[in-house]
Amino acid sequence: MKPPFRYWFCRLYVLVLWPLMAMTFLTFLYEAAARNDTRLFVVCMLWTPLMPPIIVMGFSLVAFPFDYSAFGKYIRSPSPANETPIAVFPLSGILVRNRSRMPAALSVFSSGLEIICYGAVGIAFLPLTDIELLERARWTTVVHHRCPEIRTPLTIPNNVADALDEVMRIPYATAVE
């Protein structure tokens, strides 16, 4: 479980600041269009640094279910601290739920797959015991799993799947092309 402060802070940050910032920007646009008054522009510029955290929190909902996102109650499982990665793919990417492509660094451990989503979206660990099926396509591999911390299906590049396959020692299911 997350500490209560962090859990409530993320929720209130978005619920309070997002409408307040939106109203400020809309008021500025209205005032600027109506009488060329740009005094509210200073207030809008003060709100600008508060926008990226809201956007990043929203992106965490793409890769992780609500309970494990920035707004949820639970913390995702950490990567194994005492293991050395077998293979590391720093400039890779994932496709979540066949819709959302995200740049990520992937590391294959003997106990699972670590996914570090760039842009401060989050880090997740997918244990090998939760992987049900690997479906190989031409350039990618679809990973079906039952881990509640990451959305399924998860699509990874074939070179990552090859390293994962060596660790798992299971054959791929062939996908129809």
Mean pLDDT over residues 118-125, rounded? 87
Report the percent of the chain where pLDDT is more than 90: 39
Check the CA dihedral 77-55-151-148 and report its sign: positive
Residue 177: per-residue pLDDT: 45
Which whole-number Å values give the CA distances from 144 to 33, 37, 109, in the listed order?
52, 55, 18
Convert 140-149 to b/e letters by CB count within 10 Å (16 or more is b).
Answer: bbbbebebeb
Mean pLDDT of the chain: 85
58 confidence band (pLDDT: 50, 70, 90): confident
- pTM recorded for the entire structure: 0.78
Q: Is 110 helix (H, G, I), strand (E, B) or coil?
A: coil
Domains within the chain, CATH numbers bracketed: 4-68 (no CATH), 87-174 (2.30.29.30)
